[in-house]
Amino acid sequence: MTVILIADDEPRLAEHLASRVAQLWPGATHLLTAGNGLEAAALLVAHRPDVAFLDIRMPGLTGLQVAQAASDTRVVFVTAYDEYAIAAFEHAAVDYLLKPVSDARLAQCVARLQREARPQAGLADLLARLPAPGASAHLAWLTVGLGDTTRLVAADEVVYFEANNKYTDVVTATERHLIRTPLKALLPQLDGSRFAQIHRAFIVSLPAVARIHRDLMGRQQVFLKSRSEVLPLSRSFAGRFRQM
């Protein structure tokens, strides 16, 4: 069974590409479609498709960001991106399709996919070097484990991060997950306009802060909108909150 994922924020383009791929690849028994980057990443993790056609410019996550989770999946970038990126794709032997996708080029791509079933060896290195078009390098989502299940948590859902020995707790409004990245290594990957360190053991989402309270001893605490925990605010990190 061959599972194929097609991700494009233009529904008609995604449906059209899916129908064309189905005609060219009769063995493709399961076609998945996604309308944005977050949905594509979730399908990629949940279904581990054999092939993923990823539009580079998508809301939520770009195709390049989605591809970071594609360790067992052959990736084809569908793009109108510039010549620098195309040259990089070719150098790394990464498949790509330029919009508008011609029938001949798509047939050539499908034939190559059928002939070479293993994921591209140079993909991870390419993604580490190539910036996403028009997107920041900030962490947009986290891969977390829940029992035997792996799922995605969008950075926008996180209320705060808490150091847990060498690991980090990721806390949302309703859940708590453990990731293997230490808090110190996580901080540079976060959007500084959204997240702030408030203590050596805590990073908080600024939109999640309800108020800052100072007690009679001068100690400051962070109250949250969606959770009952009260977090400590160290003096060394308090400057950002003086206007709150």
How do residues 77-108 score in pLDDT, each as one tens digit? Answer: 888 765 546 655 665 556 788 888 889 999 99
Q: Where does a domain end: 129, 154, 178?
A: 129
The position carrying tokens 């581990």 is: 48
Name the H helices within the chain: 11-24, 37-47, 63-66, 83-91, 103-115, 123-129, 183-186
Share of the chain above pLDDT 90, in %: 38
Q: Is residue 136 part of a domain?
A: no
Same domain, 99 and 15: yes
Checking if the pLDDT of 170 tops 50, the result is yes
* Domains: count for the chain: 2
**Count of beta carbons in the 10 Å neighbourhood of residue 134:** 8
- Measured between alpha carbons, how far is 177 from 153 in angstroms, rounded to an integer? 9
- Measured between alpha carbons, how far is 66 from 140 in angstroms, rounded to an integer? 10
Checking if the pLDDT of 210 tops 90, the result is yes
Q: Where does a domain end: 129, 153, 186?
A: 129
Q: How confident is the model over 9-25, as pLDDT tens digits?
A: 888 888 999 999 999 99
Nearest C-alpha neighbor of 178 from the set 166, 190, 187, 169: 169
Q: How confident is the model over 136-167, as pLDDT tens digits?
A: 557 777 877 665 566 778 888 999 999 998 89
This prediction has a pTM of 0.55
Q: Which domain holds residue 95?
A: 2-129
Same domain, 71 and 145: no
